[in-house]
Amino acid sequence: MLVLSRKALQQIRIGEDIRLTIVKVDRNQVRIGIEAPAGIPILREELVGKDRATEPDVVATGHQGKPPSNPQGIGPR
């Protein structure tokens, strides 16, 4: 496992198509933004293997329903 240190608003690239952005850091919580092609499933570990993880909009986008808002304006450059 590769372990990296990042500060808020810094990014990590995985290949050419995936970008992780550290959106916010609190005492014991880190908010991470993930940009990836639509065909790559993004799941929280606790959802892997559960029936909920097979719902089409959860598998395809990593979240259910409409995409989350982007209040910090973080996105592709």
* 63 contacts 53 by C-beta, under 8 angstroms: no
Rounded Cα gap, residues 52 and 13, in angstroms: 28
Instruction: Count the Cβ atoms, other than its own, within 10 Å of residue 55.
Output: 11
Q: What is the pTM of this model?
A: 0.60
Rounded Cα gap, residues 21 and 7, in angstroms: 9
Residue 9, pLDDT score: 96
Rounded Cα gap, residues 51 and 32, in angstroms: 24
Phi, psi of 60 (to 5 degrees): -75, -35
Residue 50, pLDDT score: 75
Q: pLDDT per residue over 26-56, tens digit each?
A: 999 999 999 999 999 999 998 888 765 455 5
